[in-house]
């Protein structure tokens, strides 16, 4: 499997996860009744901004085999559709880029000049990690470049690096070159810059093996705060322990509630590299709204 094939596989897992999670947005008591029964959503599963931005990354890698920040910013703006559920911060940044503001200014002046520490750079980056799985140092560099366009804060960038590295190392895990579970998570942790995202991964590493999904979400977060540190450690914990079964990983992830489309997109984009295309339920792939990209 070559680099772009790996990226497309991850995009397939990410987009199905994104669309699956989005179908469970709603009142918690009602949603949990469906999740507890493993009742699959009906209708067309519409994907969100997570997938829209991931498609831009895959298109960029397909064309250039690298991240050209100006070109990727232009793709993000061109594909920007507010109906896909972009957060307020992303809406403001992408609208500014669309109106001619340079991405560096739009990103750097966001949130009072702090830059975004949200989970948006992490939600879209798994295919990039898959693409650069043969060169982890390059993976880190390119993940940072992909994040900076919208996330100038170091924690937003760290979240993207963590997910990209997780995807890259999962492909090696699939080939039997890396262990599963806690050892894999430790390998990811070691490649993430110091800060709250890395601290969250440290906390995830310390959780007992018998920890339930609800307990893990309580300790690590479930994306409800929409920050990288509240989202990425939980997603990596899930990918560490549920990587053998795509469907089960997604059911468990969505059961934590929170930012369901994003947590499922991150987990789906990583786990797909472990289970392969055949590991993603065919019915789920058919239910997901069609992607405007060749897979």
Residue 45 pairs in a beta bridge with 288
Predicted confidence at residue 24, as pLDDT, reads 95
Spell out, as residue ranges, where the chain has pLDDT lower than 50. Answer: none
Predicted confidence at residue 178, as pLDDT, reads 62
Give the three-state DSSP class for 45.
Answer: strand
pTM of the model as a whole = 0.96
In a domain, 22, yes or no: yes
Predicted confidence at residue 173, as pLDDT, reads 73
CA-CA distance, 234 to 252, in Å (whole number)? 11
Q: What is the DSSP letter of 224?
A: T
CA-CA distance, 25 to 19, in Å (whole number)? 10
Q: How many domains does the chain contain in total?
A: 1
In a domain, 123, yes or no: yes
pLDDT in tens, 125-143: 999 999 999 999 999 999 9
In a domain, 181, yes or no: yes
Residue 164 pairs in a beta bridge with none
Please report where in the chains the tokens 């070559």 appear, as a residue.
2
Predicted confidence at residue 174, as pLDDT, reads 63
Give the three-state DSSP class for 261.
Answer: helix
**Cβ pair 77, 97 in contact under 8 A:** yes
In a domain, 292, yes or no: no
DSSP string, 241-253: HSTT-HHHHHHHH
pLDDT in tens, 57-81: 999 999 999 999 999 999 999 999 9
What angle is formed at CA 188 by the lines to CA 185 and CA 193, rounded to 5 degrees?
Answer: 130
Predicted confidence at residue 11, as pLDDT, reads 98
Of 261, 216, 219, 241, residue with least CA distance to 166: 241
In a domain, 293, yes or no: no
Predicted confidence at residue 177, as pLDDT, reads 63
Q: What CATH number does residue 47 fall under?
A: 1.10.4080.10
CA-CA distance, 260 to 182, in Å (whole number)? 24
In a domain, 227, yes or no: yes
CB-side neighbour CA atoms (13 Å) of 161: 28
DSSP string, 135-184: -HHHHHHHHHHHHHTT--SHHHHHHHHHHHHHHHHHHHHHTTSS--HHHH
In a domain, 294, yes or no: no
CA-CA distance, 274 to 253, in Å (whole number)? 17
Structural domain that includes position 108: 3-287
CA-CA distance, 140 to 76, in Å (whole number)? 20
Sign of the C-alpha dihedral computed for residues 71, 54, 12 and 176 taken in this order: positive
Predicted confidence at residue 294, as pLDDT, reads 58
**Cβ pair 272, 10 in contact under 8 A:** yes
In a domain, 295, yes or no: no
């Amino acid at each position: 499997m070559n680099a772009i094939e790996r990226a497309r596989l991850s995009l397939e897992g990410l987009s199905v996860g994104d669309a699956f999670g989005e179908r469970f947005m709603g009142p918690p008591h009602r949603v949990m009744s469906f999740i507890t029964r493993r009742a699959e959503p009906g209708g067309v599963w519409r994907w969100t901004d997570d997938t829209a931005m991931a498609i831009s990354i895959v298109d960029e890698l397909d064309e250039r085999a690298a991240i050209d920040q100006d070109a990727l910013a232009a793709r993000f703006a061109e594909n920007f559709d507010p109906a896909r559920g972009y957060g307020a911060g992303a809406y403001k940044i992408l609208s500014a880029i669309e109106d001619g503001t340079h991405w560096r200014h739009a990103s750097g002046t966001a949130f009072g000049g702090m830059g975004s520490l949200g989970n948006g750079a992490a939600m879209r980056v798994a295919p990039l990690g898959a693409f650069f799985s043969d060169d982890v140092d390059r993976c880190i560099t390119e993940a940072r470049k992909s994040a900076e366009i919208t996330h100038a804060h170091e924690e937003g960038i760290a979240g993207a690096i963590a997910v990209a590295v997780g995807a890259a190392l999962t492909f090696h895990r699939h080939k039997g070159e890396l262990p599963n579970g806690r050892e894999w998570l430790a390998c990811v942790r070691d490649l993430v810059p110091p800060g709250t995202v890395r601290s969250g991964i440290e906390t995830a590493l310390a959780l007992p093996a018998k920890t339930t999904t609800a307990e893990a979400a309580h300790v690590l977060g479930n994306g409800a705060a929409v920050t990288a540190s509240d989202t990425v450690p939980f997603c990596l914990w899930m990918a560490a322990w549920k990587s053998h079964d795509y469907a089960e990983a997604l059911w468990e992830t969505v059961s934590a509630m929170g930012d369901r489309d994003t947590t499922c997109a991150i987990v789906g984009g990583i786990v797909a590299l472990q289970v392969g295309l055949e590991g993603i339920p065919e019915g789920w792939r058919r239910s997901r709204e069609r992607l405007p990209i060749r897979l």
